[in-house]
Amino acid sequence: MITVAEFARRRRELMRMAGADAALVVAAAPQRMRNADAAWPYRQDSDFHYLTGFPEPDAVLALLPGRARGEVVLFCRERDPQRERLDGPRIGPDAAAARFALDDAFPVEDIDDILPGMLEGRARLYCHFGRENEFDAQLLRWMRRLRSSRGGSVVPREFVALGHLLHELRLYKSPAELALMRRAAKVAADAQLAALRAARPGAAEYEVEAALLHALRAHGAVPSYPPTVAAGANACVLHYTANRGKLARGDLLLIDAGAEIECYASDVTRTWPVGGNYPRERRALYEVVLEAQLAAIDEVRAGRAFTAAHDTATRVIVAGLCALKLLPGSPRAALESGGYQRFFPHKTGHWIGLDVHDVGDYRVDDEPRMLEPGMVVTVEPGIYIAPDDTSVPAKWRGLGIRIEDDVAVTARGQEVLTAALPKDVATVEALVN
Ligand code: GLY
Ligand code: MN
Ligand code: MN
């Protein structure tokens, strides 16, 4: 759990970074409609959540460093018994300030009258532009209000993209964040095992998905992204989510599924054999991916470049593909030509946190970023061979293998948050059998 005190610490740190003459404005995610009166499940905006923990739509946070009458101001929906009968309870401005340790809270209907005055005289305004049309329009409206009220001199001189400061903060996970991510990892691991139990020859991919979702929801989690449950050649589609195919004995089954707990994500992939042991060729490829993944995890250390894991995984995969004669010539030549990208077309990982593909710059001063304690990455090399790839003998075709874990950089090395989920061949085959 993230405490109210930790949310407050984040706001203070962000205000310190922005400076005493700045203002910062962050909006909640809007409620999005699926069609007619049916809404998509609500998920708070990650930045807004990071700074408030406030769970409702139609809210705006204003941070006003040094403001005598309160630095931290929330605008949110008022209580409304009739609407609350339909949609559930609202917190309301009166309760919000105390419950979330804010200095003040106002009805969001009044924001156009109140917020412009709060921005008056601030040198810089930090916010997100170009994300939400409604927010962009609101921002311009507030500026027009300011201009018309006092003759134009009080509008902030600079508008600054908020992400540069805020996403730098989000990149370093606190002990409480890591604890939530460990839980999200554990739930995803349990869900993979539940899915594996449903992965019998003849089953449909959606039956396996159902077991997976059941396990996630049984822990109070939601999927952190639409799960991929891909048997055989379906796994060649990297973001496959149709999950309508059938499992056949001897297929590989790629399951890429994550849990989200209190807005924190996990992102886990395993590639299981259906109905028994890994068939020979598939096992050989699986072992290449596993070797690449283990070598790449070893590169996740403070002081190593973010790119080191990918470089290492690529070297191992290319060497393996050459040894199996799936790539012609020497590993060096294959690395240089880039011909291996047909089989390994993606990068080895990404930041993970509140977002599955989390925020934070991957390059600093045009150099790959160095890893530091508190950063969390995924490590997910893969090999994919299309069903119609006639450049390789037929026995290799129509499969996708990926192994993905979430790995936190620690002071002394790394912590594999998803380590509970087996991936070595002997343990996996024992589980399946
Ligand atoms: N599940 C999305 C990814 O692995 O990046
Ligand atoms: Mn991933
Ligand atoms: Mn994934």
Nearest to 301 by CA among 387, 348, 371: 371
The reported pLDDT for the residue numbered 225 is 98
pLDDT at 337 over 90: yes
395-413: per-residue pLDDT in tens? 999 999 999 999 999 999 9
Q: Which residues contact 324 (CB under 8 A, 6 or more apart)?
A: 284, 285, 288
116 and 187 belong to one structural domain: no
The reported pLDDT for the residue numbered 150 is 59
53 and 164 belong to one structural domain: yes
pLDDT at 375 over 70: yes
Global pTM reads 0.97
The radius of gyration computed from the CA coordinates of the chain, to the nearest angstrom, equals: 25
120 and 81 belong to one structural domain: yes
146 and 176 belong to one structural domain: no
> pLDDT-based confidence at 151, cuts 50/70/90?
low
The reported pLDDT for the residue numbered 297 is 98
346: annotated active-site residue: yes
Q: Which residues contact 392 (CB under 8 A, 6 or more apart)?
A: 326, 385
30 and 139 belong to one structural domain: yes
Tell me the C-alpha to C-alpha distance, in Å, between residue 335 and each of 3, 129, 145, 340, 349.
Answer: 48, 40, 58, 7, 19
Residue at which a domain ends, from 154, 170, 186? 170
71: annotated active-site residue: no
Pairwise CA distance, residues 271 & 385, whole Å = 14
Mean pLDDT of the chain: 97
The reported pLDDT for the residue numbered 146 is 87
The reported pLDDT for the residue numbered 190 is 98
86 and 211 belong to one structural domain: no
The reported pLDDT for the residue numbered 153 is 52
Residue ranges lining ligand 1, Cβ < 6 Å: 225, 256, 267, 356, 380, 404
Give the mean model confidence (pLDDT) for residues 107-127: 96
Centroid of ligand 2 to alpha carbon of 407 (angstroms): 11
409 and 265 belong to one structural domain: yes
Residue 408: CB atoms within 10 A of its CB come to 22
Residue at which a domain ends, from 170, 187, 209? 170
72-112: per-residue pLDDT in tens? 999 999 999 999 999 999 999 999 999 999 999 999 999 99
Q: Among residues of the chain, what percentage have pLDDT more than 70?
A: 99
The reported pLDDT for the residue numbered 189 is 98
The residue annotated as part of the active site, out of 177, 209, 358, 404, is 404
**Ligand 1 probe mutation, 237, 260, 267, 355, most atoms within 8 A of CB:** 267
390 and 296 belong to one structural domain: yes
Centroid of ligand 2 to alpha carbon of 416 (angstroms): 14
**Domain ranges, residue 424:** 172-432
Name the residue with the closest Cα to ligand 1, atom 5. 357
The reported pLDDT for the residue numbered 424 is 98
What is the count of structural domains for the chain? 2
283 and 188 belong to one structural domain: yes
CATH number at residue 379: 3.90.230.10
The reported pLDDT for the residue numbered 148 is 85
The reported pLDDT for the residue numbered 147 is 85
157 and 242 belong to one structural domain: no
164: annotated active-site residue: no
176 and 146 belong to one structural domain: no
The reported pLDDT for the residue numbered 152 is 56
Centroid of ligand 2 to alpha carbon of 356 (angstroms): 7
What is the atom index within ligand 1 of the atom nearest the CA of 267? Answer: 1
Report strand pairing: 33-35 vs 38-39.
antiparallel
Give the mean model confidence (pLDDT) for residues 296-302: 98
310-324: per-residue pLDDT in tens? 999 999 999 999 999
255 and 304 belong to one structural domain: yes
The residue annotated as part of the active site, out of 37, 366, 367, 388, is 37
Residue at which a domain ends, from 125, 150, 170? 170
> How many helices (H) does the chain have, and how many strands (E)?
13, 21
384: annotated active-site residue: yes
Centroid of ligand 3 to alpha carbon of 228 (angstroms): 8
* Contact indicator for 397, 387 with CB cutoff of 8 Å: yes
362: annotated active-site residue: no
Which position has the token pair 């203070």? 12
Which position has the token pair 């849990």? 259
CATH number at residue 120: 3.40.350.10
